[in-house]
Structures are given as C-alpha cells and as structure tokens.
C-alpha cells in the first residue's frame, strides 16, 4: 500500500507541469468575446435557464454534455447532430450510437434558442448554444467553470450513417481503438482519459455493458459490482438503465477515476483505461487530485469544442436548429460529397 501511494504521489508530481491556468488560444474565427456587442447577455441567459431546468431534471446535464460530444466527434462542432433527416437519407440522430441521446437535451437547445432570439435576434448559432450548454452542465453539476470560444456556424448538412458510426467509438472499444479514433480527430491520449471523465455523471443502458456480464462475467470487474448490475440488467437485452458513477452519480467530480481503480468502471472502454499502461498513470493522478482533473478537463473540452468548426461565411446560423434555413440551396450538392468522403 505504501509503495502504491508513493507511486501515485510521484506520478502526481510529474504531471503537475501538464496543467496550466492559461486560457487556450481560439482557432481562427472564434473568440471569447464574439457576442460582446450582438448578444452581451448570451451566457447568462443560458445559465439562468439551465439552473431552472436542472432543478427539475438533473439528468439533463449529462444529456447536454453528451450531445456536445456526439456533435463534435462527427464532422466537427457544427450542430449537425441537431438536424432532422431528409428525403436524401436519415440524420445523425438515427445512427445507432445516437439513438440513446436524450430527447430532453434536443428540446432544451431549442428552448434556449427561443429565449436567446427573443432578446438578441437570430444572431447566435445552434452550435454555440450546444457548446455553452455543455460547459454549464459541467459547472452547475459541480465541475470546472471555463470560458468557451464562440463564433461557430451551423452546418448545412448532416453526416452519413457510415461517418457517424465510424467516429463514435462504441462502449465495447479497447484502448488501442480509442486512441486511434481520437487521434484521427486531433485528440491525444491525455484528451482521451480526461474526456472519458465526463462519465462521472449520467446514466447508461444495460445493453452498452452487458457484454461484460453475459454469458460470463468480465474478470476485470469487481464481483460485488457485477452482481449488483445483474439485478438491474438480468439479461443481455434488458432495456433498463443504471448510473455511470456509483459513488456520486449526479455530481461532476473525480470519482469516475476512483471507480476505475476499484474495478467498478461500467464500460469496456472505461475500465480498459486503468488496465492499459498508456493511460493508467493519468487515471491515478486524477483519482487523487480533482483539481488536476478539472484543469485538464477544461483544456480538453475547449480543444474538442473547436474541432473542424465552421466560421465566418461558412455554413449558416439556423433559424430552426433541427433544419437548414430555406433557400440555402446546398443540400443536394453537399450530401454526395460527404458520402464520398466517408468511404476513404
């Protein structure tokens, strides 16, 4: 035990240099003061409304955070996940990884846009609303409060089903697959471990982890934890849900990493991070130092939130977050290009 504690302290000391209070530099086209003149009360409008929403539905916080992840991982942070399907094909929401996105989260974004439009006019993109709502979901749940670069534009098209499936790694993924998938997006191993900490809030469907229970129990899962999960998920095809973090399920903190150290991670993609030498040291650091986790989470979220953003004259500011503006005239041109690109 003493040697393990010493190892953790050494690792913690070695990683302190990774974290900084410095604000990340926004990518070209984004800024921290983008709506200073056109919608100066934007962030207070969103935060005040979400405070009310979370008082009646705390699970919405995890839903909004997940919505931001699923948007950014597929063709960038462009609100494409909000688009309904069209005659040309199903939207991203209909792809298997997105079927469990909270409908309440989509409604919350539309409600926020209505409040914003009433005070500022139609000047704020849906993509920016999603990014701010994700940040507020973290902060209002007890996590870090950080500044979000703004100025994103909304996409004119949604991604194909193939592209959506390819860029959202399933919960059964191993660490090597996760590292490769995130590297393709421009995110590194530190981002992987850090962003996975978002699982400290929210719920999961049984079918996303029953591969670890049936037909035989994963030996890398604590037995008591597994037996309790079987009570909630008595069969492979159970439709029930359970919390991601058994310690503090509604609080954004570092207990997710403590869960992993106790072999109480829910998904294969979670628990594998503690078993793999490439990611274990950071798990140990975050498990003993919440401040280190919070600082890096803020940095990784800002980094992820700037993936392949549309800015300037690109895309549009949608009047309705679930549909492109009438008269855009680019849908039939862009969708074949996306389909072609997804085959490489």
Per-residue tokens: 339: 């389909």
Are 227 and 218 spatial neighbours (Cβ–Cβ below 8 Å)? no
Torsion angles phi and psi, residue 191, rounded to 5: -60, -40
Per-residue tokens: 208: 């996303």
Per-residue tokens: 258: 């403590």
Compute the distance between CA of residue 29 and CA of residue 313 in angstroms, rounded to an integer: 10
Buried/exposed code over 62-95 (b: 16+ C-beta within 10 A; e: otherwise) = bbbbbbbbbbbbbbbbbbbbbbbeeeeeebbbeb
Compute the distance between CA of residue 21 and CA of residue 19 in angstroms, rounded to an integer: 7
Other Cβ atoms less than 10 A from the Cβ of 176: the count is 11
Give the HSE-up count for residue 215: Cα atoms under 13 Å, Cβ half-sphere. Answer: 0
Per-residue confidence (pLDDT) for residue 121, from 0 to 100: 97
Per-residue confidence (pLDDT) for residue 22, from 0 to 100: 61
Per-residue confidence (pLDDT) for residue 83, from 0 to 100: 97
| Region label for 298, one of left (φ > 0), alpha (ψ between -120 and 50) or beta (otherwise) | alpha
Give the HSE-up count for residue 73: Cα atoms under 13 Å, Cβ half-sphere. Answer: 23
DSSP letters along 193-241, please? HHHHGGGGSSEEEGGGTGGGTSSS--TTS-HHHHHHHHHH--STT---E
Omega before 222 within 30 of 0, i.e. cis:
no
- Out of 68, 70, 199, 205, which one is annotated catalytic? 70
For residue 217, give the nearest of 178, 268, 261 by alpha carbon: 268
Per-residue confidence (pLDDT) for residue 19, from 0 to 100: 41
Per-residue confidence (pLDDT) for residue 89, from 0 to 100: 81
Q: How confident is the prediction for the chain on average, in pLDDT?
A: 90
Task: Assess whether 70 carries a catalytic annotation.
Answer: yes
pLDDT < 70 positions in the chain: 1-22, 328-344
């Amino acid at each position: 035990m003493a040697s393990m504690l010493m190892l953790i302290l050494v690792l913690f000391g070695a990683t302190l240099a990774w974290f900084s209070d410095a604000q990340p530099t926004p990518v070209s086209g984004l800024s921290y003061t983008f709506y200073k003149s056109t919608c100066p009360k934007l962030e207070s409008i969103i935060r005040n409304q979400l405070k009310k929403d979370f008082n009646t539905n705390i699970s919405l916080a995890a839903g909004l955070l997940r919505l931001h992840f699923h948007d950014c991982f597929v063709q960038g942070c462009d609100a494409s996940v909000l688009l309904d399907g069209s005659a040309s094909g199903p939207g991203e929401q209909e792809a298997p990884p997105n079927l469990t996105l909270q409908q309440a989260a989509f409604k919350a974004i539309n409600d926020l846009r209505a409040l914003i439009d009433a005070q500022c006019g139609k000047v704020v993109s849906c993509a920016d609303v999603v990014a701010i709502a994700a940040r507020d979901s973290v902060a209002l749940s007890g996590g870090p409060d950080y500044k979000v670069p703004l100025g994103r534009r909304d996409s004119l098209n949604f991604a194909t089903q193939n592209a959506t499936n390819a860029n959202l790694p399933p919960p059964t993924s191993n660490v090597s697959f996760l590292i490769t998938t995130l590297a393709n997006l421009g995110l590194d191993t530190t981002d992987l471990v850090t962003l996975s900490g978002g699982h400290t809030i929210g719920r999961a469907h049984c079918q996303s982890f029953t591969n670890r229970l049936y037909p035989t129990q994963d030996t890398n899962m604590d037995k008591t934890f597994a037996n309790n999960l079987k009570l909630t998920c008595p069969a492979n095809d159970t439709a029930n849900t359970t919390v991601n973090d058994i310690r503090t399920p509604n609080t954004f903190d570092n207990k997710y990493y403590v869960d992993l150290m106790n072999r109480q991670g829910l998904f294969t993609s979670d628990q594998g991070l503690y078993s793999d030498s490439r990611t274990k040291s950071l798990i140990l650091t975050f498990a003993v130092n919440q401040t280190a986790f919070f600082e890096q989470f803020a940095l990784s979220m800002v980094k992820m939130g700037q993936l392949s953003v549309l800015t300037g004259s690109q895309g549009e500011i949608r009047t309705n977050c679930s549909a492109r503006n009438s008269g855009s005239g680019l849908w039939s041109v862009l969708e074949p290009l996306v389909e072609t690109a997804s085959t490489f």
